[in-house]
Chain A
């Protein structure tokens, strides 16, 4: 069972400043939804509301049927995983130990130790970090840390996966690989909600996009509906043009010089 993510009229304010206003969106089982928008649009705030880290001032966020802000952290940990932009913070543990920490939510479940090991091993395989298993995280590059973080949340095996710029430090090959990986995870019955900075990566891989602008939803829809030259030019204050991708069945966003 996976009820996905439902955000209903979310408002979030800090003091007099409103970071999110009337944001409604949803993501269903099998879907990969991208959150896009310029800096300061409220993308991370929205994702953290979904994660249960921030309680919305108004509205309600549910994750797999659970109220994100009132459910215990213990219970939430088997329903949603969250990957921050830096993947794994600097720490002295070995890569494999960090990925295995993703199994912590299931420590009381009736699961054989070798099953945990297999899940951890498979997660590392899928994110291409198996060869780093015994390296200390502190010795890794930023991109490697991002993939280790991804392996950790895959090992957490939650129906809802939240990612804040999961590809920001990756080379193009790994970017595509990670997006395909998230796609296949969604296809297997998960819900993936990811903040994506690269609009073309979002166009090629996401089912739907939520474009945020100053704490409000500007457009929600398929990449073709959201990635429209006039809208993007307005939201990002940068001239843009959108054409058909010559090879893939998706839009291709191009930046232009000022007219």
Chain B
């Protein structure tokens, strides 16, 4: 039994978690803005904000432009991508009643990547990132719905995961073939679709991805109650008045859209959708009322922190952020599997 299942502090624990994660996220975002090739202090940050809000008069310094044009969109993109992955991870796990259903492990990130490339092909040269993001979202949602069909046909969790993994690897191979053959500066690198990267985070890209992630995320966070009932089983949830098929369809579409936005903006950053809900579930318990929103915050923390590390630890070389999330996430996943394997009879 997890500690959270005991009544003791169960009621206050999510509130504490909310405050702790929110404060940490803001702290990590400020820290991320200060770190980088050009050294920047907190005072510079206030100067930039004051200037932008029109509170301070004066010319824009180089530091102001670095903060506004590079650091701020990058940190916001990290938070947005992480939030999208975190909330969609928790949602997929609820919809599939499988705590291992990570957006990447079940093939949705490669699907979104393929969609993004298709979107670029359809976009006129020099065109909008919106088309790419929307194509990624449509592709992500479509494959999410397909995975539901597969889940209804295979009973075994292992089988479902392997199907998702094979599907993902297959799509990744196509993605690689297209990206390498096309060889155009308009197309992100293959590394972007395997290990992600936030170096392309501009205000324009942010503006295209944000509505997708925020709207889909808000829809998911509001569906906490049916998620809880679904944990009892699909039949039980139906008997309690949930139109299960419709509910899961909505969840998968919203998750696919959030993943599409996240992948379009930050590429395939793995393990965030797996680790954030996993850690939070152990902290606050199984109820979705807090879990979905907190997973978004937790995912945002994870990507902002790892991205700051990724661009500073070996500067001027930038490590793909997904490498770092995988280095942290893979052992957590293995630990989780081994532990789960031990507890089942």
Contacts and interface: CB of A to CB of B under 8 A. Distances in A.
A is bound by B: yes
B2 interface: yes
A107 interface: yes
Interface string A41-62: 0000000000101000000000
B241 A84 contact: no
Contacts of B10: 94
A102 to B, nearest CB: 7
B156 interface: no
B235 interface: yes
B232 A92 contact: no
B6, B228, B287, most chain A CB atoms within 10 A = B228
Contacts of A72: 243
Nearest to A93: B286
Contacts of B1: 135-136, 138-139
Interface residues of A, number: 32
B240 A136 contact: no
A148 B241 CA distance: 19
B241 A89 contact: no
Interface stretch (A75-83, A115-123, A176-184, A205-213): A75-83
B99 to A, nearest CB: 10
Contacts of B281: 92
B229 A73 contact: no
Contacts, number: 76
Nearest to A106: B241
B5 A135 contact: yes
Nearest to A162: B239
Question: Which secondary structure dominates chain B's binding surface?
Answer: loop
A92 B285 contact: yes
Contacts of A53: 235, 238
A195 to B, nearest CB: 15
B5 A134 contact: yes
Contacts of B238: 53, 73
A91 B281 CA distance: 13
A138 B228 CA distance: 15
A68 to B, nearest CB: 12
B2 A84 contact: no
A77 B225 CA distance: 15
Contact of B241 (A94, A98, A104): A104
A74 interface: yes
A201 interface: no
Nearest to B239: A82
B50 interface: no
Contact of A84 (B6, B236, B286, B287): B236
B231 interface: yes
A94 B232 contact: no
A105 B233 contact: no
A20 to B, nearest CB: 19
B232 A73 contact: no
Given A91-B286, A93-B286, A156 B231 contact: no
A228 interface: no
A254 interface: no
Interface in A124-153: 133-136, 138-139
Contacts of A89: 232-233, 236
Contacts of B169: none
Contacts of B232: 88-89, 91, 98, 101
A201 B227 CA distance: 37
A3 interface: no
Nearest to A102: B240
Nearest to B6: A134
Given A92-B286, A94-B7, A104-B225, 8 more contacts: A73-B239, A73-B241, A76-B241, A91-B232, A91-B286, A92-B281, A93-B231, A139-B5
22 contacts: A53-B235, A53-B238, A73-B238, A73-B243, A73-B244, A74-B243, A77-B239, A77-B240, A92-B231, A92-B281, A92-B285, A93-B228, A93-B231, A93-B286, A93-B287, A94-B5, A94-B10, A98-B232, A102-B240, A104-B240, A104-B241, A135-B5
